[in-house]
Amino acid sequence: MPMQIGLDELLGMLVSRVEEMSLDSENQKSRFNIMFRMLYRKGLFDEKDAIDAIREENKILLELGMIKAMPDEKTIKAAADNLMLWIRGDAKEIKASIEELQKRLQEAAEKQNKPRIETASANVLNELDRLGGGGKKLII
């Protein structure tokens, strides 16, 4: 006999699972950050190693067809710089970087031409229907 479940119960289970996955993801990020900070402080890798690893990762992604083109050196360097900020744990610099990114995103959003949706009055719509002819209502 099939089991019936309410939509609210299903949604509750899904939300609960997503929250668990989110917590697990944050936990993993913290562990990786801690491990990489330990390795960095022991001198086992540096920024050049990060650049090489990012370049290699993108090469693999390109070969697998997961990206269309290899990023340029400037993009790879920027990714390595960002990664090294986290590994060094430079909170002041991270905060400044986040603020700069938010500022650029806001400027880009302001420059973007947003289409406007305009509504017409019922009289205008009726007139358009009348001009369309055929006696059928063409505009909803």
Residue 124, token pair as written in the block: 């205008």
**CA-based Rg of the chain, rounded to a whole angstrom?**
27
- 41-89: per-residue pLDDT in tens? 999 999 999 999 999 999 999 999 999 999 999 999 999 999 999 899 8
Of 16-20, 47-51, 93-97, 129-133, the least confident: 129-133
Does 117 score more than 80 pLDDT? Answer: no
Q: pLDDT band for position 116 (50/70/90)?
A: low
pLDDT for position 67? 94
CB 85 within 8 A of CB 93: yes
Q: How far is CA 39 from CA 14, 29, 32, 36, 86, in A?
A: 37, 15, 11, 5, 13
Does 140 score more than 60 pLDDT? Answer: no
Mean pLDDT along residues 132-136? 64
Domain residue ranges in the chain: 9-44, 45-105
